[in-house]
Amino acid sequence: MKMRANIAGASGYAGGELLRLLADHPEFEVGVSAASSNAGELITHLHPALQRYAGVRFVAHDDPALGECDILFTALPHGASADLVNTHPSIAKVVDLGADFRLTSPTAWQEYYGGEHAGTWVYGLPEMLGARALIKESSRIANPGCYATAIALGVAPLLTSGLVESEGIVVVAASGTSGAGRAAKVNLLGSEVMGSMTAYKVGGTHQHTPEIEQTLSYISGKPVTLTFTPFLAPMSRGILAAITLKMTGKHDVAVLRKAFTDMYSKDEFVHMVDVQPATASVYGSNNVHIAVESHPRVGHAVVTVALDNLVKGAAGQAIQNANIMYGFAENSGLTGQGIAP
């Protein structure tokens, strides 16, 4: 018998991606899917691609059935997950795709999100050193943010091997519009986005900044600082990050690349590629594509990373964490490759 997986926030993009991926999962099956304003509507009205759920309706978040499961995935706006989880304390395991439990610092939470800090759960980025053991023993997982996943995976090997400085990291990254959620916003209208790119939340104000610095500081044992400039790109999915780091010496590209292959040699979803990563190549998959170059004249390493913000950046990573928590094969339900073009 399969494990019962319920979803809160199933009407959004990340929630819809959970429904898509879990539909073919060999160990989990979806029980109930909850939504707020869309409670009572057919799932296929909002997610017409998901005909596996034809005739099934969203329930409300206060439906007691939401708590009747082996694992609950919460894909809610920040501040909402903590309240929901507290009303269902008996649920065996929870993976939160929101930000509520990612940060260890109440001060950082207050500065970047506002309101009361709900606490800190185990951070679910499996490819970080020692993370799998912590995830496996935990019943509550904070799923990383999409930008945070791309940047941490792109920086960690160089940082932990001592090949780059820990301070002054510069990141420029572009995200598709689905990263901003499904709510109607003027700046996300097709007429505003098509044929244009724009930066947003510049100058260290993006909410993933403290999460990234916290993660990299923890694994390196040194304070990490970065300048992060995100861009909104005219595409529905994907993240492409370009990361510039000051090298500790004039390392050639072979040395830099070896740090990545050493760290990720047993990780199925992280791939070093010989061409520059493209978001189209990881579309719909849990894969991460990374390339690294050495720029010895100015002493920089340059890392580029591509992933699908709704899969490895959200729902796919949440399922990867759930697989580890239950001792299933880590790639269960996540074997699909990219579907480009």
> What is the tens place of the pLDDT at every residue in 168-181?
999 999 999 877 67
Phi/psi of residue 164, nearest 5 degrees: -135, 160
The answer, yes or no, to whether residue 149 has pLDDT greater than 70, is: yes
Torsion of CA 242, 331, 139, 283, to 10 degrees: 40
Given the residues 103, 125, 146, 151, the one annotated as active site: 146
Distance CA 167, CA 224 (A): 5
Torsion of CA 212, 309, 315, 170, to 10 degrees: -10
Mean pLDDT is lowest, of 48-57, 124-133, 200-209, 312-321, for 200-209
Q: With pLDDT > 70 as the criterion, what percentage of the chain qualifies?
A: 98
Q: How confident is the model at residue 341 (pLDDT cuts 50, 70, 90)?
A: confident
The answer, yes or no, to whether residue 85 has pLDDT greater than 80, is: yes
Dihedral sign, Cα of residue 316, residue 237, residue 171, residue 185: negative
Catalytic, 146? Answer yes
What pTM does this model have?
0.95
Distance CA 159, CA 168 (A): 12
Tokens representing 90 are 């008996």
Closest CA to 160 of 148, 149, 152: 152
Element (H, E) at 307: strand 300-307
pLDDT of residue 180: 66
Distance CA 97, CA 15 (A): 9
Q: Would you say 281 and 299 are in contact if contact means Cβ atoms under 8 Å apart?
A: no
For the chain, first and last CA: distance in Å? 37
pLDDT of residue 23: 96
Q: Would you say 200 and 239 are in contact if contact means Cβ atoms under 8 Å apart?
A: no
- Between the CA of residue 252 and those of 89, 165, 304, what are the distances in Å? 52, 16, 16
Q: How confident is the model at residue 305 (pLDDT cuts 50, 70, 90)?
A: very high
Closest CA to 325 of 138, 123, 143, 129: 138
Mean pLDDT of 34-59: 95
- Between the CA of residue 306 and those of 20, 144, 170, 196, 291, what are the distances in Å? 21, 16, 17, 20, 9
